[in-house]
Structures are given as structure tokens and as C-alpha cells.
Amino acid sequence: MNETIIQVRNFKAAYEGRTVLDGLNFEVRRGEVFVILGGSGCGKSTLLKHMIGLYPPAAGEILIKGKDIAHAEGEERRAILREFGVMYQSGALFGSLSLLENVRMPLEEFTSLPREAMNLIAHMKLALVGLGEFCGYMPSEISGGMQKRAAIARAMALDPELLFLDEPSAGLDPITSAELDELIVRLSRSLKITFVVVTHELASIYAIAGRVIMLDKRTKGIVAEGRPDELRDRSENPWVRQFFNREAKAPA
Amino acid sequence: MQYNAMSMPQTPNAVATCKAAVEAGALRIALSGRLDADGAATVWDEAVRAARGHSGELIVDCGELEYCDGAGAAVLIELQRIAMQREQSVRIERFPEEYQRLLNLFELRHFLQDEKVEPQATNFVVDIGRATANLLTDLYNGVSYRGELAVELWRALRHPRQTRWGEALLLAEKAGANAMPLVALIGFLLGLILAFQAGAFMKEYGAELYVANLVGLSLLRELGPLMSAIILAGRTGSAFAAEIGTMKVNEELDALHTMGVNPVRYLVVPRVIAAVCVMPFLVMFANLFGLIGGGVVVLSFDYPLITYYNQLFTSVAAMDLSDLLTGMFKAVVFGLLVSAVGCLRGLQTKSGASAVGDAATSAVVTGIVLIAIWDGIFTALFYALDI
């Protein structure tokens, strides 16, 4: 259970010469729900985009199952890409494809399953996120919460051990957001999927998070790491306490 | 993310196997190895074929499974589905305990019916009816949009302070000044080619000097406005459609509506004004460079430049102001048509990324069709009116 699945070492991210994050060290263990936390603009999404290999780090390295995605190419890169699924902030479902076709797409790209098998697997994944009845719908015909669930189904198409979720609860009402949290917990328990979740939603953090790291704009690094209740109750850092207590100003 | 071009779907480490054998009237399908997506791909066809080819009891033996994920679960569900559809009894035996939870996630009854993925096929009559309805709605929308645009343009002229002239100027720069090099190039080549093709032939009759009149007249009356308008449709009409279409997809048009701002007034009017204002300049530019292109050819026939000039402007067959003005009139109308239809296609954009592309394509196509139709009408009209 304590096996490391992602390792981040001395990671630095820079955007157009401006350093966004610097000196990050942490690891994600197999089977946990790992939450990356922080205020707006602190580099949460940047970190996630580096972890999934969209950008190479300015310094340091990110290893997924011991493999460095930033410098892998061709077949090697494809093999790493197959290990994880990603749900993007807005869902990023392909608007010209139905939900079933969206979920089927990674299967078409990575496997040689017959068409009927792909359809069945895609249908099963959609059923898993509660959208079994909506296979033929287009993304524009369903609500935002359903789009996010469909995006999770697509991320799970290849049964990855690792799922990255970018702001799963952004733009959703508390009930839909809670349903999504429940889905994450259920998948994590039943399928032993490791989740890396970027969020700033306090309610979700308590519901899902096993371990949390908190990023800070000022230090460009990790200000706190641990279980959410620990951070709330025991953190020495005023900013962390401010965040967990939802206060506009830091306590004097 | 980049994918390797040579990496087509393949089964690198598929080690799942499927053995089917009939024992005492029951078909026993033994699955073994790693039943992941690759494994499922190797055994799928064989297992399904075996199950379909047998009419008695079905036993799926999973005792030798090393690993099973969602794709593996799909194999089991498919086998059960086949059996149930044909009312055979089916049993899964020795399924590994550790993967039981995975299998429990899926309720079989949800998957019993085949999913209808492909859109329903329609018949010929429905297609024709739908196309007619679309055509009529399109016509209706077009008419109401043109009415609205006319009202708003009139308003803009009566209340010039409320019109976004700054925006119009910026758009005019993009649609006009930035298009000058392209218009000049096309105009020059048009004049050159026209003069050259005609000149080679007319030389045999000793009439090569009249190339000047041919080039001048056809450019001013027809080709200058036509080519400039087609360039406007390709460069600017499509840009208008894409820009407004993207705004529509991003709900920016809805935002304008809720702020009480009429999108036609706010977005379309400045664009139409910009396009209408730049068209005469574009056409003048195209004409000028076209005449220069013609001049180059006439020079190559060993006539001095002054002869070309005189032939164009002072001879009996010289161009007069009415030729220029009819061309300019066409230019203004084409500018109006192209920009208005570009904006209309933008406003009509449906949702999704491909819709924006469709809107841009449709803006160019409709723009060019309108140009062709109206050019024909004008030519007939000017001929009848003897202008």
C-alpha cells in the first residue's frame, strides 16, 4: 500500500522566464487520494500539467512508476501515457462525438479490441459513473456535472491505476460536487485507483483526501503536507489555518 | 501530447488465452492469463464465436486468470449477455476473489440491450422534408437578419455617437490595409495575364494596342470588384464568422444579450461599416495594379508608356467615369453582402469546436455565391439601363 507511484524531485516550473514553482519534493503512494491544494494562481494546474507530461519541467524530474515522462519519446512515451487518465478542468470532451464515442476513443487508439468490445467497455465505464443511459448523447446535451463524470469515464477507459483530476468540483453545485466526491471515493476503494486531485474546494478535501500538499504563491513551494484534519487543527502556518478556516484576512 | 506515427494499436504483451471445449453438453470456456485490454483483445473473438456456436449450457472457467480489469469484466459480461439473449444458462466458475469487487460494480441487466451508437437512419422523404424546413428557416432568418441589420445601420447613421467607430477603424485596418499586398499581387497578375493572353492573339490582327482598353474596361467594371470581393470573403468574411462564432460558443453573445446590448448593433454594425468603407479602396488598388500589369505587357510589345496611357484615358475607346463608378458601386454592395453574411454565419454558430469551423466555411461559400449572383444581376441591369 505504501508503494510510491509518482515521485517529484526538486521540481521547478517556469512560465516565460517567470518561476511559478520551485524546489518541490513529494511523492504519491499507490492507492491514495492525493490532493494538491492552494489558492488561485499558485500553480496547481501548472504542476498537474507537468505531471501528465504536457510541459517539461524547468529543473528536477517527475517520475511516474519510475519513468520520466518529460524525456520519453515514441513508444516509451505512449507506454507511460497509457498508465494514467486525466480529467481536464472543463471536461474537454470532444464536442463532435457522442459520450460513448468519447469514452471509446482511448480504446481505439491504444488497443486492438473488436468494435463491439470497445462499445461494451465504453458503456460499462459510463455506467460506472452513472451515465449508462446517456451513451448516445452529445456532450452539449448534458449538464456540466454529467460532462465531468463522462470525462472521468473517458479517463478510466483503459483501466489506469492512476487518475489525475483537475478541479473536479469547479462550477458545480454542492450536491453534484458531493456526488462526484462520492464517485472518487468509491472508485478509489473498489478499483484501488490512485487519484491526484487539484482543487480548492474545502468540502471536497475533507470528503476525499487521504493526503494533501498545499502550494503557496509567495514561497513558490509546498507550505504544508499531511492529512486535511491535521493541517486544519495543528498547522503552525497562519496562511494554512486561514485557508482551512475560510478567512479573508490572516489572523493577527 | 504527441504520438508516435508508427504506433498503431498492437498487442505487445498479450498473454491471455481462451480454450473452449464441450463437456457433457455444456460448453466450457476457460480463460487464463492477464485479462486486460490487450488480453481481452486476443481472446474476445474466439470466446464470442465459441459462445455463439453452442446452444447448450455455458460455463466460463476463470480459475487460471492472473489479472482482470474493466476490459476483462467486459469479456465476461459479453459472454453472459450472449447466453441470456439466447436463453442459455450460464455460469462463471472459479472467478478470483480479489477481482470479485470489480465485477460487482457492473449490473448485468444494464448491458443486456445493445447500445444504439449510430444515429438512426432516416429515409428519403424525411431527408427532403428536413432539408426543405432548414432552407425555409434559413431564408426566414436571413430576411429578418437583413431587416435588423438595415435598421441598425440606419440607426448608426442617425446616432453616430453611439456607433463604435474606434472598433470599426481597427477592423477596417485588418480588412483593408492588411489586405493591400494581397490585392495588389492578385490585381497585378490579373492585369498581366489578361493582357498577355489577349495580346498574343490580338497581335495577329495588329490590334495589340487595344489590349489596353480590354484590360482597363474588364478590370474597372468586372474583375477588380469581383476579385477584391472574393479576397474579402476569404480573408475577412471568414474571420468575422470565426470571431463571432467563438464568442457565441463562449457564451459571450448571451452575456451581451443580458446586458441589454444588441449583438447586431454591437458586433455586426462596426464590421459591416468597416468592410463597406474599405472595399472601394481595395478595388482602386486592384485596378491600379491591374493596369500596371497590363502596362508591362504593352511595354513588351514595344509601345511607349505614353501610348498605353493615351489609349486608356484619352482615345475614342477610353474608359470613362461611369466605368469606374459602376465598379465602385458593385464593390460597396459586395462589401456589404460579404461582411453581413460572415457575421450572420457567426451568429448562427451552434455549439462545439467544429461549429466555428463550419461557420467560417459557410461564410466564405455563401459570400462567394452571393457575389456571383449579384454580379450577374448588376451586369444585366447595367446593360439594360445602358450605363
Nearest CB to A120 within list B11, B74, B104: B74
Q: Which residue has the higher pLDDT, B368 or A106?
A: B368
Q: Which residue of B has its CA nearest to A186?
A: B105
Q: pLDDT class for B120, splitting at 50, 70, 90?
A: low
At B10, the pLDDT band (50, 70, 90 cuts) reads very low
Where helices occur in chain B by DSSP H, the ranges are 37-52, 70-85, 100-104, 124-158, 165-175, 180-202, 211-218, 224-232, 238-249, 252-258, 263, 269-300, 305-313, 321-347, 353-385
pLDDT at B150: 93
Shared domain check, B339 and B236: yes
A72: how many CB neighbours lie within 10 A of its CB? 16
* B130 located within any domain: no
Q: How many domains does chain B have?
A: 2
Query: Does B78 contact A at CB distance below 8 Å?
Result: yes
Tens-place pLDDT, residues A170-196: 777 888 788 888 888 888 887 788 999
Q: How far from B380 is each of B37, B183, B209, B374, B375, CA to CA, in Å?
A: 68, 26, 28, 10, 9
Report pLDDT for B296: 94
Q: Does any domain span residue A95? A: yes
pLDDT confidence of residue A117: 87
The interface residues of chain A toward chain B in range 116-155, judged by CB-CB distance below 8 A, are 116-117, 119-121, 123-125, 127-128, 132, 135-136, 139-140
Domains in chain A, number: 1
B99 & B205 share domain: no
Convert the pLDDT of each residue in B262-287 to its tens digit: 889 889 999 999 999 999 999 999 99
For chain B, give the percent of residues with pLDDT over 90. 43
Of residues A95, A112, A159, nearest to B351 (C-beta): A95
Query: Which one has a higher pLDDT value, B375 or B32?
Result: B375
Asked if residue B66 and residue B153 are part of one domain, the reply reads no
pLDDT tens digits, one per residue of A50-70? 888 888 888 888 888 888 888
pLDDT of B243 reads: 93
State whether A113 and B115 contact (CB < 8 Å). Answer: no
Decide if A251 is inside a domain.
no
Cell triple for residue B108? 448485468
On whether both B175 and B317 belong to a single domain, the answer is: yes
> Within an 8 Å CB–CB cutoff, is residue A78 touching chain B?
yes
> How close does chain A come to B179, measured CA to CA in Å?
32
Q: In b/e form, how buried is each residue of B367-383, taking b as 16+ CB within 10 angstroms?
A: bbebbeebbeebeeeee
Answer yes or no: do B71 and A113 touch at CB < 8 A. yes
Please check whether residues B242 and B333 belong to one and the same domain: yes
User: For residue A116, which of B186, B159, B51, B185 has the smallest C-alpha distance?
Assistant: B51
Q: Under an 8 A CB cutoff, do B73 and A132 touch?
A: no
Question: Per the CB < 8 Å rule, is B106 touching A95?
Answer: no
Domain identity same for B102 and B240: no
CA atoms of A203 and B261, how far apart (whole Å)? 38
Predicted confidence (pLDDT) at residue B117 exceeds the cutoff of 80: no
**Are the C-beta atoms of B291 and B215 separated by less than 8 Å?**
yes
Confirm whether A223 is domain-assigned.
yes
CB pairs under 8 A between A and B: 112
- A91 vs chain B: nearest CA distance in angstroms? 13
ipTM over 0.85: no
- Which segments of chain A have a pLDDT < 70? 1-2, 247-252
pLDDT at A231: 78
Query: Which residues are CB-neighbours of B350 under 8 A, at least 6 positions away?
Result: B358
CB contact under 8 A, B71 and A109: no
Q: What is the mean pLDDT of chain B?
A: 86
Residue B187 reports pLDDT greater than 90:
yes
pLDDT at B190 over 90: yes
Cβ distance of A140 and B3 shorter than 8 Å: no
For residue B133, give how far its alpha carbon lies from the nearest alpha carbon of chain A (Å): 22
What's at A139, amino acid-wise? P
| A139 contacts in chain B (CB < 8 Å) | 352
CB B60 within 8 A of CB B32: no
Q: Are residues B60 and B154 both part of a single domain?
A: no
Beta bridge partners of B64: B32
Residues B239, B305 share a domain = yes
**A249 in a structural domain:** no
Residue B82, domain member (yes or no): yes
Angstrom CA distances, B384 to B320, B327, B377, stand at: 18, 16, 11
pLDDT value of position B4 = 40
A132/B110 touch (CB, cutoff 8 Å), yes or no:
yes
Contact residues for A224 (Cβ-Cβ < 8 A; gap 6+): A212, A213, A214, A231, A235, A237, A240
Q: Are residues B25 and B153 in the same domain?
A: no
Task: Provide the β-strand partners of residue A195.
Answer: A33, A163
Task: Kindly list the residues from chain B whose CB atom is less than 8 angstroms away from the CB atom of residue A84.
Answer: none
Residues of B in contact with A159 (CB under 8 A): 36-37, 69-71
Distance separating alpha carbons of residues B344 and B353, to the nearest angstrom: 18
| pLDDT at site B113 | 64
Return the CATH number at A152.
3.40.50.300
pLDDT attached to residue A248: 64
B149 and B105: one domain?
no
**Where does the pLDDT of residue B1 fall: very low under 50, low under 70, confident under 90, or very high at 90 and above?**
very low
Residues B79 and B216 reside in one and the same domain: no
- Band the pLDDT of B142: cuts 50, 70, 90: confident
Q: Is B40 within 8 Å of A113 when comparing Cβ atoms?
A: yes
From the list B70, B75, B116, the residue facing A159 with the nearest CB is B70
Q: What's B65's domain CATH number?
A: 3.30.750.24
Whether residue B330 sits in one domain with residue B268 = yes
The Cα–Cα gap between A146 and A94 comes to 14
Whole-number pLDDT of residue B345:
93
pLDDT tens digits for A67-84?
Answer: 888 888 778 888 888 888
> What mean pLDDT is predicted for residues B148-174?
89
Tell me if B353 and A96 make a contact (CB, 8 A cut-off): yes
Answer whether B71 touches A (CB < 8 Å): yes
Closest chain A residue to the Cα of B357, Cα to Cα: A96
Expressed as residue numbers, the domain containing A91 is: 4-244
Domain of B303 in residue numbering reads as: 144-385
Which among B7, B44, B115 is the nearest to A114, CB-wise?
B44
